[in-house]
Amino acid sequence: MQNARLNLGPLLFNWDSGKIRDFYFRIADEAPVDRVHIGEVVCAKRLAGKDYLPEVMDRLTAAGKQVVLSGLALIMDGRDQQITRDLTELADDYLIEANDISTVSLLRGRPHAIGPFINVYNEATLKYYEQGGATHISLPYELPETSLQALSAHAESALEVQVFGRLPLAISARCYHARAHKLSKDGCQYVCDKDPDGLPVTTMEGQNFLAINGLQTLSYSYCNLMAELPALTAMGIRDFRLSPHDVDMVRISRIYRDRLNDRLSSPEANDALEQEMFAIEFSNGYYHGVAGREQINIA
Amino acid sequence: MTSEKTPSKLELVCPAGTPAALRVAVDAGADTVYLGFRDATNARNFPGLNFSVAELEEALDYAHSHDARVLLAVNTYAQAGNDDAWTQAVDNAARLKVDALILADIGLLDYAHRAHPDLRLHLSVQASASNPVAIQHYVKEFGVRRVVLPRVLTVPEIKSLNQEIDIETEVFAFGGMCPMAEGRCSLSSYITGKSPNMNGVCSPASHVAYIQQGRTLTSNLAGFTINSFGPHEQAGYPTLCKGRFTANDETGYLFEEPTSLNVTGILSELMAAGVTALKIEGRQRSKAYVREVVQNFRQAIDQAARGEGGKIAMDNLSEGGQNTTGAYDKKWM
């Protein structure tokens, strides 16, 4: 698995600017990742006042990381559309990851990336995006092993699969963080900043269920495809995404890198991960064609 | 931009889960009915519902002889390595000359446009096209003639959108209210393993259980408690985004109340916004329900076209007896 690439997906949560800057500086200096996604995917309002991006991009580039700029997942009003046009104007200098068809449309004919919020479920769709200039495609997390195999057999682009972190299950026009705090979306007071990994949602009987993050609904469990890495690389997938959380992502990325470099076995790597995040529930169900929340133990 | 929109009267697009429901909808005044094949190619893949190829042929005869149109929904995403059912559905739609085909998958849109250039294509809500650039992309690439808008836009946003696109818009008018952007929601598959995009189902009945404990009735989906009802409460179906959950130590309808969308009170605004067609949900509903909703909407649309108006009470047909205008009204957000 030596030629695998380890990539850090976009930060989905509303951390304050100082914390985000420090996070990326440390990623630049210490994390064994190849590519780092920067940008706001969930809520355009969160971009207000965040002027640290150029500094972070310079630091990451200087450290030898490829910087990718990720776009919004749900583009509705004029502000969202303007942010998207501004983003795509940077396509000559940076790889842009589209998470909405309008972003794909603006990037067509130039090299670009397709993010996991774009529905790529079959070969015909994969071909359509590749013919339009997509060089990197991050596949929907819902796909089972059989679909990943079929797509990988036909892909000319670099295919990526998320192997760590809560899964972004849904997005809405409605802000659930604001609603949970009895605020309107317009007057949200940015309350999503209270939950750096999302606000846990349990059932009435206390079962762990989901997590909310502004307009987004995440899985309660953290996807972990550590044990599936050999099968994924065997089918030709080379790019693996870690979705950032409020844990030691440098340490997490080192564990995945050590597994990819065969310095750790799968059980050793999973033990290390569980020590790092001992109270966390992991899941790999989607890969195995069952409910996404399930954890299937494989040898 | 040029427009083929003529919003003098809204087109009433009604559900047909079965051949019998189709005849009821047409007889009750539907301008158009939409339906799907009896397999994973359509987003209401429920047991006992939908049409065979032969039944579609009969449905087209019946509808056309009553001046109604038939739209075929092939609105799930084709399976990798095994897309035959989806391409066959497209080929059958073209051969039988449906009035339009409703698609979401970009690979299938590409196939349909190339293989059957004369077939009228509508963009399904499952494609989640919520802005003018996205919609125009489907127009330019595949010749799409109508877009079913996601339930994420306000009426002023729909009006502004209609001024920037050159195809028809269809909006949801009555029935179940998805609070999430359609085609981008995996809540169902995370809990049950079955998804709208891949399997055509959300919160499937095969995973539902009701459990009576003392005076409390609990509704379950795949082992998760979705809601709980006291002796005087009406127990609803456990669609998972419409259940009661706990966050921040508070329990309630975190995502959406069990309520129905009803736009009869804002028909004139939707007409003024340039909307072409209204979509009624409910392919899984009874013939009696379809008849009553279609008759009510026929009356409401005809009144609105004459400049008369007012909300039509259909609370007895609504989930939980409650109605909402959802995202069409900014307060919902």
CB proximity A86 to B under 8 Å:
no
A250 CA: distance to closest CA in chain B (Å): 28
Per-residue tokens: B56: 């579609």
Query: Chain B contacts of A217, Cβ < 8 Å?
Result: 180, 187, 255
**Do B224 and B136 sit in the same domain of this protein?**
no
Question: Which residue, A167, A98, A105, is CA-closest to A136?
Answer: A98
Residues 6 or more apart whose Cβ sits within 8 Å of residue B319: B176, B236, B242, B258, B259, B260
Number of CB atoms found within 10 A of residue B296's CB: 20
- Looking at B253, B275, B310, the residue that finishes a domain is B253
The reported pLDDT for the residue numbered B7 is 53
**Do B171 and B199 sit in the same domain of this protein?**
no
**Do B248 and B265 sit in the same domain of this protein?**
no
**Residue A225 near residue A6 (C-beta atoms within 8 A):** no
Per the structure, the count of domains in chain A is 1
**B14 is annotated as contributing to ligand binding:** no
End-to-end CA separation in angstroms for chain B: 30
How long, in residues, is chain A?
A: 299
Q: How far apart are CA B31 and CA B149, in angstroms?
A: 19
Whether A116 is in a domain gets the answer yes
**Cα maximum dimension of chain B:** 64
Question: Which residue, A280, A185, A176, A259, is CA-closest to A6?
Answer: A259
Whose structure tokens read 């910087």? A67
Q: Could you say which of A151, A169, A204 has the minimum Cβ distance to residue B246?
A: A204
Contact B107 A124 (CB under 8 A): yes
**Residue A74 near residue A60 (C-beta atoms within 8 A):** no
Q: How far apart are CA B74 and CA B105, in angstroms?
A: 9
Q: How far apart are CA A55 and CA B126, in angstroms?
A: 39
**Angle B84-96/B106-115 helices, nearest 10 degrees?**
40
Written as one string, the DSSP assignment of B118-166 is TS-EEE-GGG---SHHHHHHHHHHH---EEEPPTT--HHHHHHHHHH-S
Task: Read off the amino acid at residue B69.
Answer: R
Whether A213 is in a domain gets the answer no
pLDDT band at B138 (very low <50, low <70, confident <90, very high): very high
Average pLDDT over residues A192-211: 97
**Residue B190 near residue B183 (C-beta atoms within 8 A):** no
Whether B233 is in a domain gets the answer yes
Contact B191 A293 (CB under 8 A): yes
Task: Decide if pLDDT at A280 tops 60.
Answer: yes
Whether B132 is in a domain gets the answer yes
CB proximity B53 to A under 8 Å:
no
Shortest CA distance from B191: residue in chain A: A291
Whether B135 is in a domain gets the answer yes
CB proximity A181 to B under 8 Å:
yes
Q: How far apart are CA A69 and CA A49, in angstroms?
A: 18
Whether B330 is in a domain gets the answer no
Strand, helix or coil at B37? strand
**Do B86 and B228 sit in the same domain of this protein?**
no
Written as one string, the DSSP assignment of B188-210 is HHHHHS--HHHHS-SS-GGGEEE
pLDDT band at B333 (very low <50, low <70, confident <90, very high): confident
- Tell me the CATH number at A26: 3.20.20.70
Select the residue from A104, A179, A212, A295 to test the B interface by mutation, using most B Cβ atoms within 10 A. Answer: A179
Which residues pair with residue B260 across a beta bridge?
B176, B323
pLDDT tens-digit profile of B161-183? 999 999 999 999 998 888 999 99
**Do B51 and B21 sit in the same domain of this protein?**
yes
Q: How far apart are CA A118 and CA A113, in angstroms?
A: 10
Shortest CA distance from A215: residue in chain B: B180
Whether A191 is in a domain gets the answer no
Task: Decide if pLDDT at B3 tops 50.
Answer: no
Q: How far apart are CA B37 and CA A70, in angstroms?
A: 37
pLDDT tens-digit profile of B184-236? 999 999 999 999 999 999 999 999 999 998 999 999 999 999 999 999 888 88
pLDDT band at B310 (very low <50, low <70, confident <90, very high): low
Number of CB atoms found within 10 A of residue A115's CB: 30
Whether A61 is in a domain gets the answer yes
The reported pLDDT for the residue numbered A210 is 98
A94 CA: distance to closest CA in chain B (Å): 22
The reported pLDDT for the residue numbered B139 is 98
Contact B183 A119 (CB under 8 A): yes
Query: Chain A contacts of B165, Cβ < 8 Å?
Result: none
**Do B160 and B299 sit in the same domain of this protein?**
yes
Average pLDDT over residues B81-105: 97
Query: Chain B contacts of A166, Cβ < 8 Å?
Result: none
Query: Chain A contacts of B108, Cβ < 8 Å?
Result: 124
Sign of the C-alpha dihedral computed for residues B131, B167, B121 and B46 taken in this order? positive
**Do B151 and B237 sit in the same domain of this protein?**
no
Strand, helix or coil at B45? coil
Whether A186 is in a domain gets the answer no
Which residue positions of A form the known binding site for [4Fe-4S] cluster? 43, 175, 188, 192
B3 CA: distance to closest CA in chain A (Å): 21
Angle (CA) B41 B43 B45, round 5°: 75
Q: Sort strands A239-242 and A5-8 into parallel, antiparallel or unpaired.
A: parallel
Strand, helix or coil at B312? coil
Sign of the C-alpha dihedral computed for residues A27, A30, A31 and A32 taken in this order? positive
**Do B168 and B316 sit in the same domain of this protein?**
yes
Whose structure tokens read 């080379």? A238
Higher pLDDT, A6 or B1: A6
Query: Considering only residues 46 to 85 of chain A, which have any Cβ-Cβ distance to chain B shorter than 8 Å?
Result: 73-78, 80-81, 84
Residue A183 CA from chain centroid, whole number: 28
Q: Could you say which of A148, A184, A207 has the minimum Cβ distance to residue B224?
A: A207
The reported pLDDT for the residue numbered B2 is 37
Q: DSSP state, A65?
A: P
Tell me the count of A-B CB pairs closer than 8 A. 211
**Residue B73 near residue B55 (C-beta atoms within 8 A):** no
Query: Considering only residues 94 to 133 of chain A, which have any Cβ-Cβ distance to chain B shorter than 8 Å?
Result: 100-102, 104-106, 117, 119, 121-129
The reported pLDDT for the residue numbered B313 is 67
Contact A201 B246 (CB under 8 A): yes
B186 CA: distance to closest CA in chain A (Å): 5
**Do B162 and B305 sit in the same domain of this protein?**
yes
The reported pLDDT for the residue numbered A52 is 84
Q: What are residue B91's phi and psi, to 5 degrees?
A: -65, -40
**Do B312 and B216 sit in the same domain of this protein?**
no
- Tell me the CATH number at B60: 3.20.20.70
Task: Decide if pLDDT at B6 tops 60.
Answer: no
The reported pLDDT for the residue numbered B80 is 97
CB proximity B217 to A under 8 Å:
no
pLDDT band at B315 (very low <50, low <70, confident <90, very high): low
pLDDT cut 70: percent of chain A above it: 100
pLDDT, averaged across chain A = 96
Per-residue tokens: A8: 């850090």
Whether B242 is in a domain gets the answer yes
- Looking at B253, B279, B294, the residue that finishes a domain is B253
Whether A198 is in a domain gets the answer no
Contact B193 A179 (CB under 8 A): no
pLDDT tens-digit profile of A126-156? 999 999 999 999 999 999 999 999 999 999 9
**Do B49 and B146 sit in the same domain of this protein?**
yes
CB proximity B231 to A under 8 Å:
no
Whose structure tokens read 């207000």? A48
Q: Could you say which of B105, B225, B248 has the minimum Cβ distance to residue A204?
A: B225
Per the structure, the count of domains in chain B is 2
Q: DSSP state, A73?
A: S
**What is the domain range of residue B201?**
186-253
Whether B205 is in a domain gets the answer yes
**What is the domain range of residue A36?**
5-167+222-288
Shortest CA distance from A100: residue in chain B: B134
Strand, helix or coil at B243? coil
**Do B169 and B129 sit in the same domain of this protein?**
yes
Question: Which residue, B116, B120, B247, B125, is CA-closest to B181?
Answer: B125
Select the residue from A87, A171, A217 to test the B interface by mutation, using most B Cβ atoms within 10 A. Answer: A217
Shortest CA distance from A124: residue in chain B: B107
Whether B94 is in a domain gets the answer yes
Whether A233 is in a domain gets the answer yes
**Angle B19-27/B53-65 helices, nearest 10 degrees?**
10
**Residue A149 near residue A235 (C-beta atoms within 8 A):** yes
Higher pLDDT, B327 or B131: B131
Angle (CA) A158 A198 A90, round 5°: 40
Shortest CA distance from B82: residue in chain A: A122
Task: Decide if pLDDT at B323 tops 90.
Answer: no
Contact A172 B181 (CB under 8 A): yes
Contact A101 B127 (CB under 8 A): yes
Query: Chain A contacts of B242, Cβ < 8 Å?
Result: none
Q: How far apart are CA A10 and CA A24, in angstroms?
A: 11
Whether B333 is in a domain gets the answer no
Question: Which residue, A207, A52, A238, A38, is CA-closest to A136?
Answer: A238
B218 CA: distance to closest CA in chain A (Å): 10
Select the residue from B171, B190, B198 to test the A interface by mutation, using most A Cβ atoms within 10 A. Answer: B190
Whether A129 is in a domain gets the answer yes
